[in-house]
Structure 1
Amino acid sequence: MKVSVRLFAGLREAAGRDELELELPDGARVADALAQVQHLAPGTSLVLAVNREYAARDVVLVEGDELAVVPPVSGGEVVEGELSLDAVAARVADPRAGAVVTFSGVTRDVDFLDYEAYAEMAGAKIDAIVAEAIERHGLCRAAADHRFGRVPLGEASVVVAASAPHRPEAFAGAREIIDRIKAEAPIWKREEGAWVEGTVPAEAPVAAPESPAPAAPDAPPAADPPPAAGPVLDVSVDARLEHGARVLVVSGSDEAVARVGWLGGRFHQLRCEEPFPAAARRGAVVEVRRLRDDELLGEATVLDPDAARHGPTNDALVRLVALERGDEPRPDASIAPPPLDAEAQALEQRYRDAGTQPPRDAELSPDERAALFALREAGRVVLLERGRHVHVDFGPA
């Protein structure tokens, strides 16, 4: 099959064009497409965006996918022209707010900076970052704009505002938004004629598991994976941890290395690689620290000290919400989902009305993205491939 791949920043300049036509076999994966463009940036980690979402290397491509190669990024709304910090601050005004934090990133030391953006994807990515920060930090409102094109000395290239009942949440939310925009939004910066080295987006959606091929009649059964050396903890964390990262879990003098599994929102799974008796009880609070420099990443409350290994399913989210509010769900009893507010009920009706053709996640407003998480917690929508949720009435059996 033939696919077109959009190029940006240094890749576009290396190729001398905005797009490349690739010839790929049927069933080709993201890794196959990346292999054909790696020569444009030897030694540089690249990520492929499929339909405006970062995609894992094993995602299967199909004819008609919108593809873009994303080099390391150096990065609401993505706009051309001067930004207004006052206008962004006005968008987060809320009678519940006792604190409003604003941030403005401006050009310094040089006459100007040039920014290039994959605008269609960058706007949706910033919207998602803002919505997740609102949910994670309990913000009243938040907003962010990023400029592209030429930004003269002293003018803002990015502005962020966050409002919350108290200042710690407002500061934490604003900090997360700007840090994640710089790390994840497909925006590139050129300074004095050279593209500034950025960071590779840390997270890509995990490909949906494929049905295993039938085994040959004489084939031996597949071996079970070796059990973890330590406990598997389902936890609620006051920060977003990087999925797949190895971290240090600490309680007093006890500590254990663990692998992070992000389950959605504040919920994570810590898969300890060694015994860790301090976390063997529900309600225990442990610190999660970065391995390389012991920096505190967040505090985690243990919801299930003896969890099974699992991913971010709706049932798991419902169960974790129940555990967090003190319920004792039993395997033979249904778990009452958290109550839905008016925004979540309106979004659920939108999914019901859309049937089998629901909107893409990238098309949702920031408020709808927050409501989407509530629907997932309540088990009212299911995640389909390529960034699209659907109401349970129309989901897979």
Structure 2
Amino acid sequence: MSTGVPLTIEWARKAKLLGRQSGRSFMTAKQLGSSWFKLGIAFLLAMSPSAALAEGPKSAQEFAEQYMAAFNKKDSAALKKLRYGAATKSKMQDFIEEMTEAEMTSGTQYNKFEILPVEGKQTESSMGPDGAFYKPSLKPTNVVKLTAVTKDGTSSTSFPIGEKDGIFYAVMPEKDEAATPPYKFGWQRFSLPKSNWSVMLPNEPEPGAQALLQQCGKDAMLDPDVYGVVKNTADIKTCQHFFQCGAEGKRLDSDDNKETYRAACTTYEPETLSKWFNDPKKNLDDTVDVRTRSLSGKLIEQKYIDLAGSPGRQFQIRGEDGTVLMGRVYWIKDALYELTFESKLEKPDTEGANKFLDSLQVM
């Protein structure tokens, strides 16, 4: 499933973490393995339940036919009538709305559907990309799989449906406060499983250890990929492990959070390292350049630094929209370590930023 237009919400970045092919890069994040995140991506936002409608599909077959026809016509109003939404709006639903609009705009046309049985976990609460847990707005009875077959290949999406008063609806995610585990706020040192480096953060990395444990299980907490990983599997083979959080005392995706702390380590396959990344100075300069261009900003400060003799760069970028990004990047033992602090506040928390940027330890 691919989108033809850029997404404007913060979770657009996380959409890439669905384990889909994107150009030459393959990106995964095990914490985003939520069934709601995967199954709900084809829906538009449902503001309120549609059970009051007098007419509607009386079977799963009728539902699939009507939904596919409405989607192919880009009929958002008809799609809305086919959903049984949550009572309250959530960021998860905002994300689903944006993704579905993008998919319709890209011109996707489904030409086949299947009615499948419900798997056990699709009836349970599961984690969304914000670390919160979501439950079905209706008890799922079936899963509808829509497929688009073209000369260029095949794409598909699946989602649960349920029955209410004899009418079938698409099941939407509803926030389950009781199932959402606690999240740890406050400064703490953090290191990924099986890694040799750590930093200080104002909160634990998103989506939180307890949420990951509840969603993925104990074994997943021993996997260095669990918080986030980006793997390039083409000719240039790299692997970047990363984690991030919001300002002290705030969840990353909360409406009042305006700052992001992010740490990453990129490693390289031997052939890639010798052929493409054998010049530490160039690697550091290129990283700063990429950050500047990705923010559509201006580099307002850069200086040479080091960490225990390993070369680095300290830099500050100001975006066109006023966003400030402060960062440090180091080349240590053939790996790239990057720490960035991004703020949309008029007066960024420079004290917190420096505490974070000064904290990198590599064993």
Please say whether Structure 1 and Structure 2 have the same fold, judged by a TM-score greater than 0.5: no
- Report the TM-score when normalising by structure 2: 0.29
Structure showing the higher strand proportion among its residues? 2
